[in-house]
Amino acid sequence: MANNSVIILAAGKGTRMKSSRPKVLHEISGFPMLYYTIKDAQKLSDDITVVLFHQSKLVQETMEKYFEGINYVIQDHQNYPGTGGAVMNIDVKHEKVLVLNGDMPLIEADELEKFSQIDADIVMSVIKMDDSSGYGRVVIDGDEVVKIVEEKDATDDEKAIKTVNAGIYLFKRDILERYLPKLSNDNAQEEYYLTDVVELAKNDGYKVAPLYVKEENFKGVNSKYDLSCAEEIMQRRIKKNFMLSGVTMHLPDTIYIHSDVEIEGESVIEHGVTLLHGSKIINSHIKANSVIEDSKIVDSSVGPIARIRPKSELYDTHIGNFVEVKKSILKGVKAGHLSYLGDCEIDEGSNIGAGTITCNYDGKNKYKTIIGKNVFVGSDTQLVAPVVIEDDVLIAAGTTVNKDVKKGSLAISRTNLKTVEGFFDKFFKE
């Protein structure tokens, strides 16, 4: 399919989303819907044009963070509203043009390949549905499409048709060049319908072939409910792929994974785990209800109920419950309970006691804590950064470490305990 051009329609307002955010920027599995469409289009074509109108600057700037070499055009929406107006006056490089919608994030490149395997002047995607409401109905005669009728223009007989237009087409370029100028807006929505190109071409004897596709792949998102349904479908796909490649998942429906996360080796992901942007899990066990973002976890166990925040790297490390790690590199470390480890480096054989806190922020700047090998950090220790603890150090429970500690030392800061015998009865009973 490399010699087809692609036009992605993304100018619509998305009124039914009831949102100030442009429809195609609503996210599923961590990325805007339009991101997925462009990503798959890039696998097929070197000539991609995205048609924008509503909040075009925001949409374009967002996509430019992810992609290079994409053409953006602004639809003349005032004069030529509608899907037909959207594809008018676009210069395309190749002889065939695949038209995609920016609100169909579940389509994958191999589905799109099928369009070019059919020999016709127009190939259009159709779905058979029990409930066809909301879609354009497709009138088919034998193995050819006769016309598409939008719901708002359909007669009762046409409304009863169960075969609908999924909204993706492969056109020969000269068909678009010939018929787009002939479109009229004489219809219920007073819009220029791309779908009318089909009837015009058919009447002149061109061949329009239907390509039957699955609803699961060609689902359009028009509301926030649709958005959640599309995300569920994508989540199931993501998790199925991991499980087939050897990852164990417990109650996968309760696990949430962004689409760029990588999981390798014999990793185990327990229920309720959230794996976000940029995370990479290798041969590790992530226990129930932990959240990991933009971090690398190698040969380690995390959780239950732990939070690993961005730019952390764990190697051969055990992180237990209620431990928060941020922007830290831990190698061969145990931190079993209730700690905050931020902006630190901790080396092999070190043990972090319950309640340990790196005080990494003075209200203005962030500072680093560096802990060497075989350091035993007693419970309820505060490490006031910047601070360096050398190898083989013992820090007594309850210590506030506010200066560097030399190799082999004990660090202890504690006020002496005072006891008053007989106090209890005196205080409560007399």
Active-site amino acid positions: 337
Contacts of ligand UD1 in 48-107 (CB under 6 A): 51, 75, 77, 81-83, 85-86, 101-103
Report, in Å, the least distance between residue 151 CB and Mg ion: 11
Contacts of 411 (CB under 8 A, 6+ apart): 389, 393, 394, 395, 396, 399, 401, 405
Residue 17 binding partner per list ligand UD1, Mg ion, none, with a CB distance cut-off of 5 to 8 Å that depends on partner kind = none
User: Which position among 116, 139, 220, 226 is part of the footprint of Mg ion (CB under 5 A)?
Assistant: 220
Cβ nearer to ligand UD1, comparing 10 with 288 = 10
Residue 135 binding partner per list Mg ion, ligand UD1, none, with a CB distance cut-off of 5 to 8 Å that depends on partner kind = ligand UD1
User: Which position among 1, 6, 10, 377 is part of the footprint of ligand UD1 (CB under 6 A)?
Assistant: 10
Residue 11 binding partner per list Mg ion, ligand UD1, none, with a CB distance cut-off of 5 to 8 Å that depends on partner kind = ligand UD1
d(CA 4, CA 87): 15
Contacts with ligand UD1 by CB under 6 A: the residue count is 27
Contacts of 206 (CB under 8 A, 6+ apart): 121, 122, 175
Cβ nearer to ligand UD1, comparing 103 with 324 = 103
Q: How many CA atoms lie within 13 A of 211 on its CB side?
A: 23
Closest CA to 352 of 372, 375, 321, 322: 375
Contacts of ligand UD1 in 276-335 (CB under 6 A): none
What separation in angstroms does the CA of 426 have from each of 208, 421, 429?
97, 10, 6
Residue 9 near ligand UD1 by CB under 6 A: yes
According to DSSP, the β-strands at 163-172 and 96-101 are antiparallel
What separation in angstroms does the CA of 269 have from each of 133, 281, 287, 312?
40, 10, 6, 18
Residue 226 near Mg ion by CB under 5 A: no
Residue 378 binding partner per list Mg ion, ligand UD1, none, with a CB distance cut-off of 5 to 8 Å that depends on partner kind = none
Report, in Å, the least distance between residue 23 CB and ligand UD1: 7
DSSP 405: B
Report, in Å, the least distance between residue 9 CB and ligand UD1: 3
d(CA 208, CA 201): 8
Report, in Å, the least distance between residue 308 CB and ligand UD1: 37
Buried b (16+ CB within 10 A) or exposed e, 56-86: beebeebbeeeeeebbbbebebeebbbbbbb
Residue 340 binding partner per list ligand UD1, Mg ion, none, with a CB distance cut-off of 5 to 8 Å that depends on partner kind = none
Task: State the alpha helices, DSSP H only, in 245-393.
Answer: none
Applying CB under 6 A, which residues contact ligand UD1?
9-12, 51, 75, 77, 81-83, 85-86, 101-103, 135-136, 148, 150, 164-167, 193-195, 220
